[in-house]
Structure 1
Amino acid sequence: MLGLVVYRLIPKNPSPNQLVLTFGWGWRLFFAALGGLLARGMIQETTVHAVPLIITVILFLAALYRERWEFDRDAAEITYSFGLLFAYRTKKYPFGELEEVLFRGTVPDSTSTSHDQIGDSGSKRFMNRGFVKLGLNFTEAGPVSIQTESNRNATMLRNLGTEIARFCDVPYRDAG
C-alpha cells in the first residue's frame, strides 16, 4: 500500500509524441481515504475540534495536489503544472531549448558539528544519507529540477532521466 503513496512522478505515454510525468492515483486515493476516515469520525462526535478539522482539510488538499510534466513534440513545448487539481500554476518551456537531462548527486551539509557534540552517530548517518536530483538544462531558463530522491532510489531516477532524454532526443549526463 505504501508503494502507491510515494511522492514520485510516474512516466506515461498518452501518445507516441507525448511523455507525461505525474502522480499515480494511489496518491490521491490514500489521502482522500484518510481524510474521509477522519471526517467520518468527526461527524460522529458532538463537538468539532480544531486540530482534527485542520488535519482533515490538509489531507483532502493533499489528495487534490497536482504535479505534472508534459513533454509534447507536436506542440514543441515542455509544460510543468503544479498546485491543486483545479487551481494550479503552469510554466512552459520551448522544446527546442532543452539542452540536456542531468542527473546529479547531492549530500546534505555535513559541516555541522552539532551531532558530534551530542555523540549521536545514528542521527548523523541519517542526516548525511545523501540525495540525488534529476533536472533539465534549458538554453534560456537554465537548470530546472524535476525530482529529488534519496540515494537508494538513484537507479529509478537514472532510468527516468534516460527515458526523458531518449524521448526528447537530447543528451543525458550523469554527474552523480
Structure 2
Amino acid sequence: MDHIIYLHGFLSSPKSEKAQLVSKYVTHNHPNIKLHIPRLPGCPAKAVEIIERLICTIFNNESLNQDTPINELRFIGSSMGGFLSTYCVETYGGKAVLVNPAVEPFNLLTEYFGEHLNPHTGEVFSIDQNSVSQLLQLHKVIKKNTPNYLVYLQKEDETLDYRLAEIKYGTDCCIIEAGGNHSFVGLENHLSEIIGFLSQ
C-alpha cells in the first residue's frame, strides 16, 4: 500500500474542506493508497515532531536518518502545510504537491503575535518570537524546477503572494490560475493529476 501524508494549514485541521475533499477522492478512487492527515498543533516545532513520528511509524523506522533518503515519502501540503512539506522533502526525501504554500511564513508571523484559538480543534496556543525562530530553522532553500514538487497557485490568494512560491519553486513546477483565493477554488478538478504525480 502507498502512503500519502496531507498537511493542513495554520489554524486548520484534518476536518478542513480541502483535507476532506482529498480524503473522499482517495477513498473512492485509490483504495491502494493510505492517506494520513495528522492534526498539527500551532507550534511549528511540535507540528514537525508529530510529522516525524508519523513517518517513523509508516516506514517502521525507529529514528529518521537524513543520510538515507526515504524516496517513497509523499506529501500534499496546504498553506503552512506546504512549508512543512517542503521541509520534510528537503530533509528526508520524497515528493510533494503544494497548494497555495506559505513560502516565508516567518515574515508574516509578527502579525499573529499573541494567543490564538484554533476554531476547528479547540487548541489554545501562543505565537511569539520563538515561533518565528522555529520557522526560520525549518526554512529550506531549494533548487528551482526540481521534479520533486508540483505547486498549485491562484493569483487572487488573499493571504499569500503567489509570486513568492513561483520564484522559489520555479515556473516549471507551478500551475498558476487566475482568480481564486487562498482556499484554492476548484481543487477537485486537479485531484487526478495530483495523485498521478505522487504515484510516480
Q: Structure 1 length as normaliser, TM-score?
A: 0.30
Instruction: Decide which structure has greater strand share.
Output: 1
With normalisation by structure 2, the TM-score equals: 0.27
Higher relative contact order (CA 8 A, sep 6+): 2
For the pair shown, the structure with the greater C-alpha radius of gyration is 1
